[in-house]
Amino acid sequence: MSPSPAPHQSWITVTLTRASVVILLIAFSHQAVAQHSDFPLPAAHFANSIADNSESGSTPQIQPDLSGVDFALGEEAPPGTPLIQPTTIFRQDDSGSGSSSDSEPSGIMGLFDDSSSGKSKKWYEKLNVRGYAQFRFNEIVHTNEGSAPPNYPSDGSISNERNFIIRRARIAISGDVHERVYVYLQPEFASNVPNSTDSDYFLQIRDWYSDLYLTEDKVHRVRVGQSKIPYGWENLQSSSNRIPLDRGDGLNSAVRNERDIGLIYYYTPESVQELFDYIQENGLKGSGNYGMFGAGIYNGQGGSLRDRNERLHSVVRFTYPFQLANDQIFEVGVQGYNGRYVVLGAPIEPLGIGPPMIPAGTEQAGDEKGLLDQRIAASFIMYPQPIGFQAEWNVGRGPSLNDAQTEVVVRSLTGGYVMLFSKHDTENYGTYLPFIRYSHYLGGYKAFRNAPYADVRDWEVGCEWQVNKAAELTATYLFADRTNIDSQSTGQQYEKFEGNVLRLQLQINY
C-alpha cells in the first residue's frame, strides 16, 4: 500500500488543481463568448462539480450538464457530454514548465532578454533548410567573322570548350535563433578557383550573417557578416527568383558576387514589410526585404576576396514600394556607394604589341592604396500583374584599363538594362514568364585582372516555365555584342565577342 500524502502535499495539490481549472474556465468562457455570443455556459454547475470533486480528494472530472446548449450545428449535446478532456487542463512545454504570461522587454533592451530561453525550442530546432541547383547548357550558334572567342563573365560555359555546367548548387540554413536574432548561412557548392582554367565545383561561403533586431516589430535591424550589398535591385534579387539567367553587367560589375563582409543598418516600416511579404507570397519576382532604407560599411573587394587596403567602402540605399488602387505594385529606388578599390594585375601584351607586362595601377605593379570607386544608380520596377517592367541604370567613376592597355586609371562608367516581361498562370500547365531584355555597359570590370574596359550591348529573349514548385525550365537566345575580358599573356587583348548563343537551364528547388 502506498503511503498517504502529507497534509501539506494534499493542500498544495487541491489548491493547484482548483487554480488550474479556474484559469481554464475563464479562458474557455472568453473563447465561447467570442465565437458564439449567445452561448449559455452552465458556469454554476461547472464550478460546483469542480468543488465537490476537489473536496473529496479525487481528480476533477469536467463533465458539466450541457443539455440545452445550442452548438453551432443546431443540436443539443446529450447530458454528461465532456466539455474538455481532463488531460488538456494544463500542459507543460518541452522544458517541463508551463507557459509564462510575463511581458518581454520592449525596445532595444529586448536584445539582452533571455527570460524565455528555457521555455521555447532549442535554437537548432528553429532553423529552416532549403536550397536550389541550376543545371545549364549553352551552345554557340553563330559567331561573326573576326569575332573574339566567346566569353561571358557570369557563365563560364559560354565558350568554345564547354556546354554543360552546374551554375549554382546551394543550401541555405536560416531562422530566428532568438526573438531578436536571425541567422542566414548559405554555402555554394559550385564555385571555381579564381583565375583557374581547370578547376570547378569547390565549396565556398556565399552568405554568412546575422540580423540583430533592435525593436520587437523588426522595423530596425543591423546585419553583420557576409551578405549582399544593397546596391541595385536586380543584384539583391535571388538568382533562384530572377527570370534572365544572369544579371546585367551595368550594375552587377559594382560588387563581386553582389556580396561583401560588413555592417549594414536596415529600416523597414511594418507596412513595407507587409508589402514585401505580399510580393513574395504571390510569386511576383521580388528582390526580398532589404529595407526601405539601408546604410552601411563593408570591405570593398567583394565576396570571398580578402580586403587589400584597409579602407572601407560605404553604401546607402532608399527604395519605396507602393500599391495603386487597382492593386498594381511599383517600386522606385536610388542607391550609391563610395570607396577605393585595389585592382589585381596580370601580364598582357598591350594591344598585342611588345613583350608581356603588368599594367601600372595594379597591386602587382606597386599600387596598394587602390583607386577611386564610386557609383550612383536608379531603379524602377513594375511588378508583373500580369505585365511587368524593370529598368536600372548607374553612372560613376572607377578603376579601368586605359585605351593603351598599359595602366589602370580612374575612368567614367555608365550602364544598365531595361526588361519587358509578363506572368501567365495556367490551371494545369504551370506558370510562364516570357521576357525581352537589353543590357548595356561602358566601363571597367574592376573585379577582373587589369580591370579591362568593357563595351556591352546585348539583347536577350526567352521564357521561364515554372513547371511546379520544385522545377523550373528556362530557355533564352542571346545576341551577344560584348568585350572578351579574359586576360592573356600573348596575343591581342580584350576584343569584341559578337555572336548568338542558345541557353537552357533546369532549376530544381528543394
DSSP assignment of 333-383, as one string? EEEEEEEEEPPP---B-GGG-SS-BPPBTSGGGT--S-EEEEEEEEEEEE-
Q: Would the pLDDT of 78 be above 50?
A: no
pLDDT in tens, 265-315: 999 999 999 999 999 999 999 999 999 999 999 999 998 888 999 899 999
The β-bridge relationship of strands 128-143 and 164-178 is: antiparallel
Q: Is 365 exposed, middle or buried (0-12, 13-18, 19+ CB in 10 A)?
A: middle
Residue 34 neighbours by CB under 8 Å, 6+ apart: none
Contact between 419 and 389 (Cβ < 8 Å) = yes
User: Helix (H, G, I), strand (E, B), or coil: what is residue 256?
Assistant: helix
Task: Tell me which residue of 53, 33, 49, 52 sits closest to 41, measured CA to CA.
Answer: 33
What gap in Å lies between CA 233 and CA 262, rounded to an integer? 19
How high is the pLDDT of residue 304? 81
**Higher-scoring residue by pLDDT: 429, 105:** 429
Give mean pLDDT, residues 140-167. Answer: 93
How high is the pLDDT of residue 197? 67
How high is the pLDDT of residue 123? 83
Q: Would the pLDDT of 407 be above 80?
A: yes
Contact between 184 and 227 (Cβ < 8 Å) = yes
How high is the pLDDT of residue 199? 72
How high is the pLDDT of residue 77? 44
How high is the pLDDT of residue 368? 87
What gap in Å lies between CA 377 and CA 300, rounded to an integer? 17
Q: Which amino acid is at 378?
A: A
**What is the longest distance spanned by two Cα atoms in the chain?**
106
What gap in Å lies between CA 78 and CA 83, rounded to an integer? 11
**Higher-scoring residue by pLDDT: 121, 384:** 384
334: part of which helix (H) or strand (E)?
A: strand 329-341
Contact between 482 and 456 (Cβ < 8 Å) = yes
How high is the pLDDT of residue 71? 39
Give mean pLDDT, residues 19-28. Answer: 41
Give the three cell numbers for residue 493.
587583348
Average pLDDT, the chain: 83
Task: Tell me which residue of 253, 37, 213 sits closest to 112, measured CA to CA.
Answer: 213
Contact between 296 and 265 (Cβ < 8 Å) = yes
* DSSP-assigned letter for residue 340: E
Contact between 471 and 508 (Cβ < 8 Å) = yes
What gap in Å lies between CA 395 and CA 234, rounded to an integer? 16
What gap in Å lies between CA 179 and CA 120, rounded to an integer? 10
**Higher-scoring residue by pLDDT: 299, 491:** 299
Q: Helices 43-55 and 7-35: crossing angle, nearest 10°?
A: 170
What gap in Å lies between CA 144 and CA 156, rounded to an integer? 20
Q: Would the pLDDT of 184 be above 70?
A: yes
What does pTM read for this prediction?
0.78
Q: Buried b / exposed e across 449-464, counting CB within 10 Å, b at 16+?
A: bbbbbbebbbebebbb
Q: Would the pLDDT of 215 be above 90?
A: yes
**Higher-scoring residue by pLDDT: 384, 125:** 384
Contact between 79 and 69 (Cβ < 8 Å) = no
How high is the pLDDT of residue 114? 67
